[in-house]
Structure 1
Amino acid sequence: MGFTGQCRCGQVHLQLQCDAPGPLYACHCLNCQRWSGSAFALHMLCPAEAITVSGSMLTYSHATDGRTSTQYACGTCFTRLFNETDAAPGMRVLRASVLHGADRLPPLAHIWVKRKQPWITLPETVPQWPESPTPEDFAIAISQQLRTTSL
């Protein structure tokens, strides 16, 4: 099974080869707000090899708190597609909104909620953290959420 997506202008296409989409979460940090120009960004964790891209991309690398993140965007319309970070080797953080049918994928968690816009109300049943959770806490919460939503 796979998922497809594209940038805004259609010059870059991607294919996500997986049986099910990875965990989708909303990040409310200031960086995501600024990158997206919105209140939060929707992300999906994926193994790097699961994403195939065609089209011309630009990259931008930056360091924060001792970690380096490389952003990948369309070279024409500058739509951010995914990033790689040395905090999660072998993984890509896909911008879930570029996927066709993304509107059917609700966030399973919210991170950096201490920075969320005050007019946003989050469902109490969805895990949330004031900042970034540990990978272990995130994995536990997501697996519990997946069990709950698939019942």
Structure 2
Amino acid sequence: MKLTGSCRCGAVSFEVESRTPYPYMRCYCSICRKTAGSGGYAINLMGDADSLKVMGAESKAVYNAEIDGEISPGERHFCKACGSHLWAWDPRWPELVHPHAGAIDSPLPTPPEIVHIMLAFKPDWIEVPNGPGHVHFQHYPDLSIEDWHKSKGLLET
């Protein structure tokens, strides 16, 4: 599935091919919360890095978060003009790019369940839905983005 996305002000836009287009995961870690705002919900899609096309790249900047006292090689790409977070890319997995679902302009399919991750880092003011259709993890989930899509029969060919 071809995903198109952009920042709030329109200075940066992009497109990327994705076999995993269901925005099913919500991350509550401090990096996702503080860089993307509110609950985070940032990195829950996966795309083919070779297919990424960026328009307005000169308006884009990169942030590398500090994790456990060390600067992460993972890059969080955002618009310098409006601050919108666009995607994450990590040289340890160079074939993948992770667009933020909130930056996607294409219609995304509705996931059959929501996986809440990194709940150990969730502040008290955030209420996490419970019940059918919600799965919870204190840290990382049991399945990768690709494996979750496969387990639900949702991996696009």
Q: Do they fold alike, i.e. is TM over 0.5?
A: yes
Residue 133, structure 1, aligned to residue 141, structure 2: yes
Query: Cα 1:97–1:115, aligned 2, differ >3 Å: closer, same or farther?
Result: same
Kindly indicate which of the two structures has a greater share of residues assigned to helix.
1
Alignment of 1:114 onto 2:120: yes
Q: Name the structure where strand makes up a greater proportion of residues.
A: 1
Q: Which residue number corresponds to residue 88 of structure 2?
A: 83
Map of 2:153 onto structure 1: 147
1:45 aligns with 2:46: yes
Whether contact under 8 Å (1:81, 1:98) holds in the other structure is: yes
Paired residues, number? 145
- The percent identity for this pair of structures is 21
- Tell me, what secondary structure is at the counterpart of 1:9? coil
Contact kept, 8 Å, 2:115 with 2:135, in 1: the verdict is: yes
Indicate the residue corresponding to 2:62 in structure 1: 59
Q: What do residues 97-148 of structure 1 show as CA deviations (whole Å, max 9, x unaligned)?
A: 11114565446522212233552214443443211236xx33444422x238
RMSD: 2.8
Name 2:36's counterpart in structure 1: 36
- After TM superposition, the score normalised by the length of structure 2 is 0.73
CA contact (8 A) 1:108 1:142 kept: no
Residue identity in the other structure for 1:60: Y
Structure 2 gap ranges (5+): none
Corresponding residue for residue 68 of structure 1:
73
- Tell me by how many angstroms 1:76 deviates: 1.5
Question: What amino acid is the match of 1:78?
Answer: G
Instruction: Structure 1 unaligned segments of length 5 or more: list them.
Output: none
Q: Normalising by structure 1, report the TM-score.
A: 0.76
1:7-50 deviation digits (Å, cap 9, x = unpaired): 00011111123466266421111111111220222321222123
Question: Relative contact order: is structure 1 or structure 2 higher (C-alpha 8 Å, sep ≥ 6)?
Answer: 2
